Amino acid sequence: MKRRARIAGGILIALLVLIAGGIVTVRSLVPPASPEFVDFTEMKRSATGSDALACAPGLCSAKIDLVLAPVPLSVAELAAKVKARVGFAEEAGE
Protein backbone atom coordinates (compact mmCIF):
# COMPACT_ATOMS: atom_id res chain seq x y z
CA MET A 1 0.00 0.00 0.00
CA LYS A 2 2.86 2.39 0.79
CA ARG A 3 4.37 1.70 -2.61
CA ARG A 4 1.15 2.70 -4.39
CA ALA A 5 0.94 5.88 -2.33
CA ARG A 6 4.54 6.78 -3.23
CA ILE A 7 3.91 6.14 -6.92
CA ALA A 8 0.71 8.20 -6.86
CA GLY A 9 2.51 11.00 -4.99
CA GLY A 10 5.35 10.96 -7.52
CA ILE A 11 2.92 11.13 -10.43
CA LEU A 12 1.06 14.01 -8.78
CA ILE A 13 4.29 15.95 -8.22
CA ALA A 14 5.39 15.32 -11.82
CA LEU A 15 2.03 16.59 -13.12
CA LEU A 16 2.23 19.73 -10.98
CA VAL A 17 5.76 20.43 -12.24
CA LEU A 18 4.64 19.97 -15.86
CA ILE A 19 1.62 22.23 -15.42
CA ALA A 20 3.68 24.92 -13.67
CA GLY A 21 6.32 24.71 -16.40
CA GLY A 22 3.64 25.11 -19.07
CA ILE A 23 2.18 28.16 -17.38
CA VAL A 24 5.60 29.80 -17.01
CA THR A 25 6.44 29.04 -20.64
CA VAL A 26 3.21 30.54 -21.98
CA ARG A 27 3.52 33.63 -19.79
CA SER A 28 7.09 34.22 -20.96
CA LEU A 29 6.18 33.84 -24.65
CA VAL A 30 3.14 36.16 -24.66
CA PRO A 31 4.09 39.84 -24.59
CA PRO A 32 2.19 42.14 -22.22
CA ALA A 33 -0.58 44.35 -23.59
CA SER A 34 0.37 47.90 -24.48
CA PRO A 35 -1.78 50.48 -22.64
CA GLU A 36 -0.46 53.34 -24.76
CA PHE A 37 -2.59 55.52 -27.03
CA VAL A 38 -2.86 54.11 -30.53
CA ASP A 39 -2.72 56.48 -33.50
CA PHE A 40 -4.80 54.56 -36.04
CA THR A 41 -3.66 56.73 -38.96
CA GLU A 42 -0.07 55.56 -38.42
CA MET A 43 -0.84 52.02 -37.25
CA LYS A 44 2.08 49.60 -37.47
CA ARG A 45 1.49 45.87 -37.22
CA SER A 46 3.48 43.63 -34.90
CA ALA A 47 6.52 41.94 -36.43
CA THR A 48 5.52 38.69 -34.73
CA GLY A 49 2.12 38.51 -36.42
CA SER A 50 0.40 37.95 -33.10
CA ASP A 51 -2.05 40.81 -33.51
CA ALA A 52 -5.33 41.48 -35.27
CA LEU A 53 -6.82 44.78 -36.39
CA ALA A 54 -10.52 45.56 -36.73
CA CYS A 55 -11.20 48.98 -38.21
CA ALA A 56 -13.86 51.03 -39.98
CA PRO A 57 -13.16 51.69 -43.67
CA GLY A 58 -10.71 54.57 -44.20
CA LEU A 59 -9.77 54.89 -40.52
CA CYS A 60 -6.63 52.73 -40.41
CA SER A 61 -3.70 52.81 -42.83
CA ALA A 62 -2.39 49.31 -41.92
CA LYS A 63 -3.72 46.03 -43.32
CA ILE A 64 -7.13 45.37 -41.72
CA ASP A 65 -8.15 41.87 -40.63
CA LEU A 66 -11.80 42.69 -39.96
CA VAL A 67 -13.74 45.60 -41.48
CA LEU A 68 -16.22 47.17 -39.06
CA ALA A 69 -19.44 48.88 -40.07
CA PRO A 70 -19.47 52.60 -39.27
CA VAL A 71 -21.71 53.68 -36.37
CA PRO A 72 -24.59 55.86 -37.69
CA LEU A 73 -24.39 58.28 -34.73
CA SER A 74 -22.58 61.50 -34.04
CA VAL A 75 -19.89 61.54 -31.39
CA ALA A 76 -22.19 63.38 -28.96
CA GLU A 77 -25.04 60.88 -29.49
CA LEU A 78 -22.72 57.93 -29.02
CA ALA A 79 -21.22 59.44 -25.85
CA ALA A 80 -24.73 60.09 -24.45
CA LYS A 81 -25.74 56.47 -25.13
CA VAL A 82 -22.63 55.17 -23.40
CA LYS A 83 -23.18 57.42 -20.36
CA ALA A 84 -26.85 56.40 -20.21
CA ARG A 85 -25.91 52.80 -19.49
CA VAL A 86 -26.98 51.74 -16.02
CA GLY A 87 -24.36 52.64 -13.41
CA PHE A 88 -21.85 54.16 -15.83
CA ALA A 89 -22.21 57.74 -14.60
CA GLU A 90 -21.97 56.68 -10.95
CA GLU A 91 -18.86 54.57 -11.57
CA ALA A 92 -17.18 57.36 -13.52
CA GLY A 93 -17.75 59.79 -10.63
CA GLU A 94 -20.05 62.12 -12.52
| C-alpha to C-alpha distance for 8 and 18, rounded to whole angstroms | 15
Domain that holds residue 20: 1-30
Closest-CA residue to 40 (of 57, 17, 18): 57
Q: What distance in Å separates the CA atoms of residue 80 and residue 71, rounded to the nearest whole number?
A: 14
* Same domain (yes/no): 45, 64: yes
Q: Which of 4-13, 26-35, 62-71, 77-86 has the highest mean pLDDT?
A: 4-13
Same domain (yes/no): 1, 47: no
- The tally of domains found in the chain comes to 2
pTM, two decimals, is 0.38
Q: For 13, how many CA atoms within 13 A lie in the half-sphere containing its CB?
A: 6
Rounded to an integer, the average pLDDT of 71-89 is: 78
pLDDT band at 15 (very low <50, low <70, confident <90, very high): very high
Query: Do 40 and 22 share a structural domain?
Result: no
For the cut 90, the answer to whether the pLDDT of residue 54 exceeds it is no
Looking at residue 93, the DSSP 8-state letter turns out to be T
- What is the spatial distance between Cα 60 and Cα 50, in angstroms, rounded to a whole number? 18
